[in-house]
A and B are shown apart, each in its own frame.
Chain A
Amino acid sequence: AQSVTQLGSHVSVSEGALVLLRCNYSSSVPPYLFWYVQYPNQGLQLLLKYTSAATLVKGINGFEAEFKKSETSFHLTKPSAHMSDAAEYFCAVSDEDNNNDMRFGAGTRLTVKP
């Protein structure tokens, strides 16, 4: 069964610094990978989705993620953190496109220091 592991439950960066949130997947079939963000007291918002069309996926709010099959990774990055990026980020995987039985990672809470 597919699964994802997020390395680091908490990440703290300074405003303007690089954001790197790590996600490794375990899937027996080519995966569909997602990053979602959750702000306090809100639902999840889709940041980006990997569907094998391109290994570098650009998302909203300046985020992007690179699919690396050799490393089974799908890390999320943003060149310059903003205070508004402070939230919880979830990596997720499904084994089919439009298969809504997604498996989520435990989440990484991002703190941005002024």
Chain B
Amino acid sequence: KAGVTQTPRYLIKTRGQQVTLSCSPISGHRSVSWYQQTPGQGLQFLFEYFSETQRNKGNFPGRFSGRQFSNSRSEMNVSTLELGDSALYLCASSSPGARGQYFGPGTRLTVT
């Protein structure tokens, strides 16, 4: 099976802009989670989608949002970008009975 894919891999944006990141889960996985990884805060949970519904949400401002499509692909959007949003954004997918979450390679977002 193909792994979790994320596009784009690298992105440079300017403060105040918005950005959309995409994640394609492993075939058959219906749960997609998003994490933010920074040197200062480490890995932080953003949100999880299951069957097109947000099931869990971390402690991030409303500028961070996401959605999931009927084919389980997910997108996350960050509006009004701030310098502190510069991070590696990781997507992970799983299914009931799976040993755990399977992570994609991440999208590295740089905000200037």
Give bound CA distance, A49 to B99, whole Å. 7
Give bound CA distance, A44 to B33, whole Å. 13
Q: Is the C-beta of A101 less than 8 angstroms from some C-beta in chain B? A: yes
Give bound CA distance, A92 to B100, whole Å. 11
Interface segment, one of A10-18, A66-74, A102-110 = A102-110
- Given A43-B4, A100-B56, A100-B94: A34 and B100 within 8 A (CB)? yes
Give bound CA distance, A46 to B99, whole Å. 8
Q: Mark A1-42, 1 if CB is under 8 A from B, else 0.
A: 000000000000000000000000000000000101000011
What's the tally of chain B residues with a CB closer than 8 Å to chain A?
26
Q: Is the C-beta of B28 less than 8 angstroms from some C-beta in chain A? A: no
Which residue of B97, B98, B103 contacts A44 across the interface (Cβ within 8 Å)? B103
A-B contacts counted at CB < 8 A amount to: 55
Q: Is the C-beta of B112 less than 8 angstroms from some C-beta in chain A? A: no
What's the tally of chain A residues with a CB closer than 8 Å to chain B?
21
Is chain B's binding surface mostly helix, strand, loop or mixed? strand
Which of A49, A100, A104 lies at the interface centre, i.e. has the most chain B CB atoms within 10 A of its CB?
A100
CB of A107 within 8 A of CB of B42, answer yes
CB of A42 within 8 A of CB of B92, answer no
Q: Is the C-beta of B43 less than 8 angstroms from some C-beta in chain A? A: yes
Give bound CA distance, A99 to B56, whole Å. 9
Nearest Cβ distance between residue A109 and chain B, in whole angstroms? 12
Q: Is the C-beta of B90 less than 8 angstroms from some C-beta in chain A? A: yes
CB of B56 within 8 A of CB of A42, answer no
Q: Is the C-beta of A89 less than 8 angstroms from some C-beta in chain B? A: no
Cβ contacts under 8 Å, A92 to chain B: 43
Q: Is the C-beta of A55 less than 8 angstroms from some C-beta in chain B? A: no
- Given A34-B100, A49-B100: A101 and B105 within 8 A (CB)? no
Q: Is the C-beta of A98 less than 8 angstroms from some C-beta in chain B? A: yes
Cβ contacts under 8 Å, A41 to chain B: 105
Q: Is the C-beta of B84 less than 8 angstroms from some C-beta in chain A? A: no
Q: Is the C-beta of B104 less than 8 angstroms from some C-beta in chain A? A: yes
